[in-house]
């Protein structure tokens, strides 16, 4: 899996998950993350398997948020862990037998955290919120594009995904920081035209 371009998020289950995944793949998403906060493991697994069926033929990476066990069961490409989830060292130890098949992404909120996670062996980083966001409850303070650019430099060569308040209108600004990808949730998933919103972000990276 290559972390680049538009990084989409599946935040619904059941038939709506299939519809959303279809739209994001059509729009040019390179990665899809299943993010179902508070959902039972069985629901997350069923959703991840559904998305896997769609993403594999399209060459789109599949990431499962928070749940290492579900990521393994769904044959995902990566698991994404937050600062308060399973520690990176523990995840790497658990994944030793399949290291290389399942990547580990880490959420970071400051350039210093980005550097620490990169040096500790994370395969890619989420950095944010870059701008103010309403998607996440009790979100960290917005860091801005200058901090994003610093995080990219300090984490190099580990790819960085910009997240938090990303919109199609801000995509070019994010691209200029050197970030490998951008993740937008509400600005895409709640847009009147989901495909067009996602495509604009994907195309901003394709022009780089």
Q: Walk me through the domains of the chain, giving residue ranges and CATH numbers.
A: 5-102+163-206 (3.20.20.70)
Sign of the Cα torsion 107, 111, 113, 117 reads positive
Structure tokens at 5: 């371009």
pTM greater than the 0.85 cutoff:
yes
**Known catalytic residues?**
35, 107, 136
pLDDT in tens, the chain (208 residues): 999 999 999 999 999 999 999 999 999 999 999 999 999 999 999 999 999 999 999 999 999 999 999 999 999 999 999 998 888 999 888 888 776 689 999 999 999 999 999 999 999 999 999 998 776 666 688 999 999 999 999 999 999 999 999 999 999 999 999 999 999 999 999 999 999 999 999 999 998 7
């Amino acid at each position: 899996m290559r972390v680049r371009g538009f990084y989409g998020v599946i935040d619904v289950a059941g038939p709506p998950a299939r519809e959303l995944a279809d739209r994001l793949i059509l729009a040019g998403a390179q990665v899809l993350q299943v993010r179902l906060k508070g959902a039972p493991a069985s629901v997350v697994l069923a959703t991840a398997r559904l998305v896997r069926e769609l993403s594999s033929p399209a060459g789109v990476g599949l990431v499962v948020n928070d749940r290492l066990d579900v990521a393994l069961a769904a044959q995902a490409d990566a698991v994404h862990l937050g600062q308060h989830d399973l520690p990176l060292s523990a995840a790497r130890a658990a994944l030793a037998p399949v290291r290389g098949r399942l990547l580990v992404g880490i959420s970071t909120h400051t350039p210093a955290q980005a550097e620490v996670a990169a040096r500790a062996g994370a395969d890619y980083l989420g950095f944010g919120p870059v701008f103010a966001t309403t998607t996440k409850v009790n979100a960290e303070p917005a860091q801005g594009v200058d901090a994003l650019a610093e995080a990219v430099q300090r984490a190099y060569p580990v790819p960085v995904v910009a997240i938090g308040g990303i919109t199609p209108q801000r995509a070019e600004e994010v691209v200029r920081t050197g970030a490998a990808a951008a993740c937008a949730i509400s600005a895409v998933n709640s847009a009147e035209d989901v495909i067009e919103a996602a495509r604009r972000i994907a195309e901003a990276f394709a022009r780089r």
